[in-house]
């Protein structure tokens, strides 16, 4: 029968011939076996189809899981990128300079504040050696292998050769295992703070000097008053003795000079003292100061004073005596700056303030004297600064304090050998900023 069944796989013509030759019983058995085989094949096919569908469903489930995982991964990467950018923006926005150096001494981080403080650009120094980049002029003695944080204050020079004061903090950078992987340097520019400290210390010293000067000036004024009284009496007794009267006049001039110095010291000591506030025409203290200085022009008639005053009053709220003192100091400075005789022009007018658009009174003192060297111009308002052999160096400091007390501004422009222009502005009466500060 086995041989007969093998004939089933022969070509159809032969199969039909052989089957037709088989006995009917054998044919029936062969057909039953064939049917069983087909049923078995169908069952197996059905199982395979079930397995395939289950596998296909599993693949779909896995694909969905992979898709979800990919979305979560993309979201995590996006969040990490956003966090990274956020931290980068914070780092770049810090007012403190941050420099990170790896174990090989190469710069890996250099934020914007570090650029501003050192003068170097990040793109110029990243991946480069820290020592070679900054050389011996900047951070020359800075240790990079510290195991504990260290802070210090020092003066350094940027690549622009500008001296600045910085507060340095050097700390090791460690990974999650506590191993040192580099060094972080934080830089804080404290130049302005240092200058403010210097100003505060100078103010304390000046306050102590002022207190002492105040006591001294009061002690000086008492005998000065007595001397002035006796000089006046002596003048009356010597009215017929011209030679002796000249000597007495010199004594009187010396007393007035000392009195002027004492007054200047008092103005410097108490620049914010409460003063008499009046609504006055600014031309009034100007004219009085010109009358007071008229006698100084007698020995040097080559000096001309030209006034171009506003045709309308310039009403300001202030102390007429202080304003007269300020104008007098400026005029005296101008006269002393013109030893060969030149021109001093005083111009007044009304102008709009550039800060808030309100109207202000403006006074210009324009001389054609020797001018002020450029190196000295930032110091002219400093107390006790003077280039003259005689003088206290308080003249323009007092003017500055008086103008500031009247809520005004003072500016000075000078060209050496050409002359100097001093411009004062004061709030006109009725302006919200007018009035003395106390």
Model confidence at 363: pLDDT above 50: yes
Q: Which of 265, 269, 267, 259 is nearest to 402 (CA)?
A: 267
Query: What's the pLDDT score for residue 194?
Result: 81
CATH domain 94-189 topology: Beta-Lactamase (3.30.450)
Query: What's the pLDDT score for residue 413?
Result: 87
Domain range summary for the chain, segments of one domain joined by +: 2-88, 94-189, 195-269, 278-427
Scanning the structure block, which residue is given the tokens 């008086």?
A: 402
**Backbone dihedral angles phi then psi of residue 187, each to the nearest 5 degrees:** -120, 130
Confidence at 4, pLDDT banded by 50, 70, 90: very low
DSSP state of 418: T
CATH code of domain 195-269: 1.10.287
DSSP string, 292-340: HTGGGGSS-TT-EEEEE--SS--EEEE-HHHHHHHHHHHHHHHHHT-TT
How far apart (Å, rounded) are the C-alpha atoms in residues 337 and 269? 26
How far apart (Å, rounded) are the C-alpha atoms in residues 303 and 336? 10
Model confidence at 376: pLDDT above 70: yes
Query: What's the pLDDT score for residue 437?
Result: 42
CATH domain 278-427 topology: Heat Shock Protein 90 (3.30.565)
Model confidence at 362: pLDDT above 50: yes
From start to end of 46-128, where are the E strands? 97-102, 107-110
- Strand 180-189 relative to strand 97-102: parallel, antiparallel, unpaired? antiparallel
Query: What's the pLDDT score for residue 296?
Result: 64
Query: What's the pLDDT score for residue 199?
Result: 62
**Global pTM value:** 0.44
Query: What's the pLDDT score for residue 84?
Result: 84
325 vs 362 pLDDT, higher one: 362
Query: What's the pLDDT score for residue 193?
Result: 83
Q: Ranked by mean pLDDT, which of 15-19, 144-148, 237-241, 393-397 comes out on top?
A: 237-241
Per-residue pLDDT of 135-182, as tens digits, reads 655 566 677 777 778 888 877 776 666 677 888 888 888 888 888 888
> What count of residues does the chain have?
438
Rg (CA), the chain: 49
Model confidence at 338: pLDDT above 50: yes
Lowest-confidence segment of 125-129, 208-212, 323-327 by average pLDDT: 208-212
Confidence at 434, pLDDT banded by 50, 70, 90: very low
**Residue 354, C-beta contacts closer than 8 angstroms, at least 6 positions apart:** none
Per-residue pLDDT of 65-110, as tens digits, reads 999 999 999 888 888 888 888 888 888 888 888 999 998 889 999 9
DSSP string, 112-180: HHHHHHH---HHHHTTSBHHHHHTTTSSTT--S--SS-EEEEEEEE-TT--EEEEEEEEEEEE-TTS-E
Per-residue pLDDT of 297-314, as tens digits, reads 665 567 888 999 999 999
């Amino acid at each position: 029968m086995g041989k007969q069944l093998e004939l089933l796989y022969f070509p159809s013509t032969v199969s039909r011939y052989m089957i037709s030759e088989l006995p009917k019983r054998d044919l029936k058995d062969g057909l039953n076996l064939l049917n069983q085989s087909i049923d078995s094949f169908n069952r197996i096919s059905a199982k395979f189809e079930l397995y395939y569908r289950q596998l296909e469903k599993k693949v779909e489930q896995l694909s969905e899981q992979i898709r979800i995982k990919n979305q979560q991964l993309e979201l995590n990467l996006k969040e990490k990128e956003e966090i990274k950018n956020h931290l980068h923006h914070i780092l770049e926005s810090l007012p403190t300079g941050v420099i990170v150096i790896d174990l090989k001494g190469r710069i890996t981080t250099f934020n914007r504040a570090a650029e501003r403080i050192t003068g170097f650009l990040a793109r110029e120094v990243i991946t480069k050696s820290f020592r070679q980049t900054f050389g011996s002029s900047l951070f020359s003695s800075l240790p990079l292998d510290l195991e504990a944080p260290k802070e210090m204050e020092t003066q350094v020079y940027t690549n622009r050769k500008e001296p600045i004061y910085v507060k340095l903090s050097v700390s090791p950078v460690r990974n999650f295992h506590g191993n040192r992987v580099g060094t972080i340097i934080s830089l804080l520019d404290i130049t302005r703070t240092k200058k403010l400290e210097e100003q505060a210390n100078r103010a304390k010293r000046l306050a102590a000097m002022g207190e002492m000067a105040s006591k001294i000036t009061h002690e000086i004024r008492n005998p000065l008053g007595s001397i002035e009284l006796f000089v006046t009496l002596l003048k009356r007794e010597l009215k017929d003795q011209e030679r002796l009267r000249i000597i007495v006049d010199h004594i009187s001039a010396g007393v007035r000079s000392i009195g002027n110095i004492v007054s200047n010291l008092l103005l410097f000591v108490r620049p914010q003292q409460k003063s008499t506030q009046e609504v006055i025409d600014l031309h009034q203290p100007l004219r009085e100061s010109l009358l007071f200085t008229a006698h100084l022009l007698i020995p040097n008639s080559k000096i001309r004073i030209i006034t171009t005053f506003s045709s309308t009053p310039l009403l300001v709220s202030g102390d007429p005596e202080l304003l007269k003192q300020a104008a007098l100091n400026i005029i005296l400075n101008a006269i002393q700056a013109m030893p060969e005789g030149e021109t001093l022009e005083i111009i007044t007018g009304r102008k709009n303030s550039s800060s808030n658009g309100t109207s202000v009174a403006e006074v210009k003192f324009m001389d054609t004297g020797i001018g002020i060297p450029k190196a000295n111009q930032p110091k002219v308002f400093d107390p006790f600064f003077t280039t003259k052999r005689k003088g206290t160096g308080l003249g323009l400091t007092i003017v500055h304090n008086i103008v500031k007390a009247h809520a005004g501004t003072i500016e000075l422009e000078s060209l050496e050998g050409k002359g100097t222009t001093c411009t004062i502005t004061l709030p006109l009466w009725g302006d919200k900023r007018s009035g003395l500060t106390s």
